[in-house]
Amino acid sequence: MTTLRMTFAALGLSAFSSLALAAGNPLSVHVLNLENGLPSPGVNVTLEKHVGQNWQPLAQGTTNEQGRIAELFPAKQPFEAGEYRVVFKTGEYFEKNKRETFFPEIPVIFQVKQTDQHYHIPLLLSPYGFSTYRGS
């Protein structure tokens, strides 16, 4: 019984520490595979900001075993209001998994108005469709 309690305590602390680490970062993403209901590890993701007529690269990352990037926004850069784009490199992900896809990448453009809030962008993914929304 003690081992079971310790396991649950460790899991709880792990989840709490992940939240604590991400608490200071204003942007996170999560990719879930709709075909099997599992997270999608290994998806490359880029973040860009709309500046003038161009998109300025800000950061890149790869989803972890839970399909998450908890801290996508650059740590030492101020989070400013504006238009941003997260691009999920889904073609690479499906190719690594020996699957075809209709969408080689999925850009999600969103607007930040309140810089004191956290923005979470989940992507529900399948080879021939996707859905996204603003999470929390």
What is the tens place of the pLDDT at every residue in 43-83?
999 999 999 999 999 999 999 999 999 999 999 899 999 99
- Rounded Cα distance between 107 and 87, Å, is 4
Token pair, residue 58, equals 């800000």
Local structure of 29: helix, strand or coil: strand
Residue 1 lies in a domain: no
| pTM for this model (two decimals) | 0.81
Nearest to 75 by CA among 134, 22, 16: 22
CATH number at residue 110: 2.60.40.180
50 assigned binding-site residue: no
Number of domains in the chain: 1
- Pick from 29, 124, 15: nearest CA to 73: 29
The verdict on whether residue 133 carries a ligand-binding annotation is yes
Query: How far is it between the farthest Cα atoms of the chain?
Result: 61
**pLDDT in the model for residue 23:** 56
In a domain, 2, yes or no: no
Q: How many CB atoms lie within 10 A of CB 95?
A: 13
- Domain extent, residue 30, equals 25-130
Of residues 35, 87, 39, 31, the one with CA closest to residue 65: 39
Q: Is residue 118 part of a domain?
A: yes
State the Cα–Cα distance between residues 136 and 134, nearest whole angstrom: 7
Mean pLDDT of 13-29: 61
Is 68 labelled a binding residue? yes
pLDDT tens-digit readout, 89-132: 999 999 999 999 999 999 999 999 999 999 999 999 999 999 99
